[in-house]
Amino acid sequence: MTEIRPGVRRLLRLVTRRTMQRDADEEIRLHLELRTRQLVAGGMSPEEARAEAERRFGEVDDERGRSHAFAARRERSQRWRGALDVVRADVRYAFRTLRRDRGFTAFAVAIIALGIGASATVFSLVNGVLLRPMPFHEPSRLVWIDNVGDHDDELWRVQVDHFVDLRDQSRSLSGLAGYFAFYNIGDAVLTTRGGDMQRLTRVPVTCNFFPLLGVAPRLGRSFNADECLENSGPTAILTDKLWREQFGADPSIVGRIVTINDRPVQVIGVLQASFDFASVFSPGGPADLFTAYPLSESNSRNGNSLAVIGRLARGATLDQARTELVALGKHLTDEYPRRNTIRPRVSSLDEHVNGHFRPALLVLAFAVAAVMLIVALNLASLQFARMTARRREIAVRLALGASRGRLIRQTLTESLVLAVGGAALGVGIALVATRYISQLRAFDIPLLARVTVDVPALAAATIVAIATGVLVGVLPALQAPAQAGDALKEGGRGATRGGYHARVRSALVVTEIAAALVLLVASSLLLRSFVRALDSDLGFAPAQLARLRVDPAKRIFKYTAATTYYDDVLRRVRAIPGVTAASLSDMLPFTGDRSWGIFAEGQTYQRGQAPEGHIRIIGTDYFKTMRIPMHAGRDFTDADTHNAPPVAIINESMARTLWPGQSAIGRRIMEGSDSVRVIGVVGDTRYSSLETPFAGEVYLPLMQTITSRVDLVVRTTLQLSQLATSARAALAPVAPAAAAGQWTRVQELIDHVASPRRFVVELLAGFAAFALALAALGIYALISYGVTQRRQEIGIRMALGASASHVRGSIVRSTLRLATAGLLLGVAAALLVVPAMSGLLFGVAWSDPVSFAGAAVVLLLVAGAAGLLPAHRAARVDPSLALREG
Amino acid sequence: MSDPAPLPILKGTLDNLVLKALCWTPMHGFEITQWVEARSRDALDIRDSALYQALRRLEERELVTGEWGITENNQRARYYRITRAGRARLASDTAQWVRYAKTVTDILTSTPGPA
């Protein structure tokens, strides 16, 4: 009866709206009449009585007005209550039907939850990384300034003198700041109060670095002008994290002297927790404290050492800054022939930080949209099937007086209930997933650490949920029969409209397959790029390589002391059983890079045309340890000391550049003002990324070049923990600070540079798998439903002699027809969409036939499998039983 | 005892009088007037319209409900019935009124003296 009651009430409402006011008048009239009659009975004349009655009543007209207003109010509230009752009844009804269909409900809620969880997570990522402004003051006015090298694709840093001149002469930029681009991870050793050594990463910055960014320290202050002069007493600003972890958040830290690299350093400030240098400028890397980088003569001799940021002046545009700095750079290059060249290229800081990652996130956002589309289509298709199955029930309810609008509203309510349930679960998934992803330190993605599920993300999820609900609800509801008679006549068979329904559902499934194919193609392209990148020839064998920082605890300025220290370390480590080779390097692959101009002796080069050599300073046995092939000449030996003639080993690329077609052995290169003899040629190695082409490399012996940063690299079959234990014992007497350090696998360095690619590949592959599963489910549900509907027909065919395999074949064929249609549509869509992601690909073209064919084959196989199950069921139909059922 | 002038009714008390009237049986507006007049022996000065306003107020707060019925003389009249919430409100208001009246009465009628 709950179903009819609201209808009756609606009928009543039409009556009451008009009658309520009449009723109010009537009530007053009756009162006056009864009062008059009472007074007449008491002896008054009718006229007197009437007047007295009205006097006693008071303002009759006022009361009438008030009664009318009240009637209208009551009428409105009743209407609301009525509407609310309808909604409540609909929701109750939805819950009841959903309870009856537990399997469907669980499935629907699960896929909506996964879909919304995925979209909220990806939206949070996109929002956190791309949309939300960087944690600086007016970040949109910050610019990044590269120094374009001899070739347009070479981006260099800026020399200090040029920095000063650009800063002083630029009018479009209100300020310029920078940091020393070649700071080394872990090169600041903090001696804690307990006497332990802690390796920290120190970033030298220009004096105005924090004020320019608009970052105020939470404690203390930024550097003052005196502290930025050379030879001033060293000062440091700590990150919030370091302050908490090493100094117990000591509020009186400012002014304290701490010991870094055995020198006293005064702490002048602590930064806000929200300032995360690394996540913006060096994702995945650490940054613990900041020291002043003086803009001095000697630092200018360091060459192109500054990474430069600037702030646009009021009213200045990026284009103006671009034009002005290009002109300034040209002028400075011409005016100072002894300095390095300067060709400034200005880009927005946001573009610099996120630019290369934007396409990847957009691809993910697109993938999420596709997944949500599939989820919605799948649900719509399932709802369609349910509505068809419930045709009888619907017919009965129509006959009992339920309106078509009411039925549509109920289906909509049901879908919204599902969507809201799914959304609630999805938000939970998003919270967990986002938290998990943002804590992955393994990924080299800017600003990833600050990604959280926030209000916009949740709002987006809610909107997606409601949109899904409406889409899923309206489509199948529209097929509700227009009139009770039609539905009842159709009976349970649904013969008249059956063909139409099947077509609509087929169209939904075909679209699903197409969307799944696009995702499959995209993820297969990215996967193949990823594999290509990992497959790229590194030039060395990272497996079984482990590394440990072994910088000398005190700065060693004497060659003899350095030689003794490194000899001791190598000798002791090589003696550990299970260590097959060990060497030293100041910069292992993927830990940084730097290049100098390298000339063949006697050769003159145009300014800016000198070949570049990437410099690696290494110990003996380096090539054996890394398994870099030795093509000619010999390795460094213990005899190549600072007393011996200076020697170098170059790689093939360098040799080809300097002496094309000739042997390099015995020739001399100019490294700065020194003439160095080439004693060997080795294979090329990959250094800054997996995708960067090989470049010229020059190896110099550690014993002839003092450096303060040294990695020990070891080839070993030992577990890392075993190695650490043995090495600790072996190294403790000669290198106590290093002995306590942390061993890591060289493979981790490669994983780290591959991480952005892996991140996108994993997510996209996940989406593609999900999409494929949903598409398969859609196919299965459709075919399976068709088989159930056609039991009798199949029974008759079999009775007429069709074999089981024939029936099976016809079902599988119809499945494949569906899949093929989806495939063609999907390929067409992919051809439109996929070229947009060429920027993300490496080693494969967007039109890569293998990816397309592979995706198609996978899809056909999965579709075939999804159709096989119902086909088997059809083949087992017993004709006699099927016919009797009718 | 000569009739004193009718008392102006205190704000809010009329509602309670109407609820009290409806405690026994549903009544229409005029019956309620009669009931109150009979019990107050005309000591209270109540405009009839005020009574209807009270009824609207009570109906809106769902303390009474109104529905159309037929009087003994076969006339259509709106009958009011007290709701469960109405009874609860009457009980609590009555208790409060009694305590208030007693306290004030005690003070006003006591012999003056130090507290």
A165 and A281 within one domain? yes
**Contact assignment for B76 to A28 by CB distance below 8 Å:** no
User: What local confidence, expressed as pLDDT, does residue A827 receive?
Assistant: 93
**Statement to judge: residues A531 and A555 lie in one domain:** no
Among the candidates A342, A370, A387, a domain finishes at: A342
Residue A11 has pLDDT above 70, yes or no: no
pLDDT of residue A4: 44
Residues A329 and A376 in one domain: no
Q: Higher pLDDT residue, A284 or A645?
A: A645
Is B18 inside a domain boundary?
A: yes
Mutation target for A interface from B9, B27, B30, B57: give the one with most A CBs within 10 A: B30
Contact B30 A28 (CB under 8 A): no
CB distance A554 to A548 below 8 Å: no
CATH number for the domain harbouring residue B56: 1.10.10.10
Looking at the fold, whether A626 and A690 belong to one and the same domain comes out as yes
ipTM for the predicted complex: 0.86
pLDDT value for A492: 45
Residue B77: its chain A contacts at CB < 8 A? 27, 30
Residues A362 and A285 in one domain: no
Which pLDDT score is estimated for A451? 67
Q: Do B28 and A30 touch (CB under 8 A)?
A: yes
Do A792 and A882 contact (CB within 8 A), yes or no?
yes
DSSP string, A86-135: HHHHHHHHHHHHHHHTHHHHHHHHHHHHHHHHHHHHHHHHHIIIIISPPS
- Read off the pLDDT of residues A388-426 as tens digits, 9 standing for 90 and up: 667 777 777 777 777 777 777 877 888 888 888 888 888
Asked if the structure places residue A105 within a domain, the reply is no
Q: Answer yes or no: is pLDDT of A14 > 60.
A: no
Residue from the list B47, B76, B78 with its beta carbon closest to the beta carbon of A58: B47
Check residue B27 and give its pLDDT.
92
Of A148, A133, A534, the C-alpha closest to A354 is A133
Distance from CA of B96 to the nearest CA of A (A): 29
* Residue B69 falls inside a structural domain: yes
Question: A589: domain range?
Answer: 551-734
pLDDT in tens, A821-857: 999 999 999 999 888 888 778 888 888 888 899 999 9
How far does B105 lie from chain A, in Å, by closest CA?
A: 31
User: Which chain A residue shows the shortest CA-CA distance from B70?
Assistant: A30
CB < 8 Å to B47, chain A: 56-58
B15: in domain: yes
Indicate whether A290 belongs to any domain: yes
In the predicted structure, residue A546 carries a pLDDT above the cut 90? yes
Q: Which residues are A745's β-sheet partners?
A: A546
Report how far residue A237's alpha carbon sits from residue A169's, in angstroms, rounded to the nearest whole number. 29
Long-range contacts of A529-533 (CB under 8 A, 24+ apart): A529/A757, A529/A761, A529/A840, A529/A841, A529/A842, A529/A843, A529/A844, A530/A754, A530/A757, A530/A758, A530/A761, A532/A842, A532/A843, A532/A844, A533/A690, A533/A691, A533/A754, A533/A757, A533/A842, A533/A843
- Whether residue A744 lies inside any domain: the answer is no
Give the structural domain span for B71.
8-108
The mean of the pLDDT values for chain A is 82
CB B49 to CB A59 under 8 A?
yes
Query: Based on the domain organization, do A385 and A298 belong to the same domain?
Result: no
> In sequence order, what are the residues at sequence separation of 6 or more whose Cβ sits closer than 8 angstroms to the Cβ of residue A773?
none
Q: What percent of chain A has pLDDT over 90?
A: 21
Q: Are residues A500 and A574 in the same domain?
A: no
The pLDDT tens digits of the residues spanning A495-519 come to: 445 567 677 778 888 888 898 899 8
Interface of A with B in 48-67 (CB under 8 A): 56-60, 62-63, 66-67
Number of domains in chain A: 4
Highest mean pLDDT among A484-488, A550-554, A704-708: A704-708
B78 found inside a domain: yes
DSSP character at residue A636: -
The per-residue pLDDT for A723 is 92
To the nearest whole Å, the CA of B46 is away from the closest chain A CA by 8
What confidence tier does B87 reach under pLDDT thresholds 50, 70, 90? very high
My answer on whether A375 and A312 are in the same domain is: no
**What local confidence, expressed as pLDDT, does residue A328 receive?**
92
Q: Is A605 on the interface with B (CB under 8 A)?
A: no
Question: Any chain B CB within 8 A of the CB of A35?
Answer: yes
Asked whether the predicted pLDDT for residue A677 surpasses 90, the reply is yes
Interface test with A, best of B52, B57, B73 (most A CBs within 10 A): B52
Tens of pLDDT, residues B19-63: 999 988 899 999 998 888 888 877 777 788 888 888 888 988 889
Nearest CA in chain B to A77: B60
- Compute the distance between CA of residue A242 and CA of residue A261 in angstroms, rounded to an integer: 16
Task: Please tell me whether residues A460 and A589 are part of one structural domain.
Answer: no
Q: What's the pLDDT score for residue A688?
A: 77
Whether B41 maps to a domain, the answer reads: yes
Contacting residues of B for A63, CB less than 8 Å apart: 49, 52-53
CA nearest to A73 within chain B: B60
Same domain, residue pair A832 and A880: yes
Question: A396 and A326, same structural domain?
Answer: no
Q: Is residue B115 part of a domain?
A: no
Taking CB atoms and an 8 Å cut-off, how many pairs form between chains A and B?
50
Q: How many domains does chain B have?
A: 1
Whether A62 sits inside 8 A of B29 (CB atoms) is: no
Closest Cα in chain A to B34: A35
Query: In whole angstroms, how far apart are CA A390 and each of A90, A383, A396, A493, B105?
Result: 17, 10, 10, 11, 73
Residue A21, pLDDT score: 73
Instruction: Please answer yes or no on whether B52 and A56 come within 8 Å at the CB atom.
Output: no
Show residues of chain A in contact with B74, CB under 8 Å. Answer: none
Q: Do B75 and A31 touch (CB under 8 A)?
A: no
User: Is residue A770 assigned to a domain?
Assistant: no
Residue A770 has pLDDT above 80, yes or no: yes
Rounded to an integer, what distance in angstroms lies between the CA atom of residue A516 and that of residue A523?
10
Residues of B with CB under 8 A from a CB of A: 28-30, 33, 47-50, 52-53, 56, 59-60, 68, 75-78
Residue A351 lies in a domain: no
Which residues on B lie below 8 Å from A62 (Cβ)? 49
In this structure, is residue A167 part of a structural domain? yes
A347 C-beta neighbours (distance < 10 Å), count: 16
pLDDT tens digits along A448-493:
666 677 677 777 777 877 777 777 677 666 665 554 455 455 444 4
pLDDT-derived band of residue B71, with 50, 70 and 90 as boundaries? confident
Smallest CA–CA distance, residue A55 to chain B, in Å, is 9
Q: How confident is the model at residue B1 (pLDDT cuts 50, 70, 90)?
A: very low
Of A682 and A478, the structure prediction assigns the larger pLDDT to A682
Which residue in A391, A385, A380, A381 sits closest to A415, CA to CA?
A380
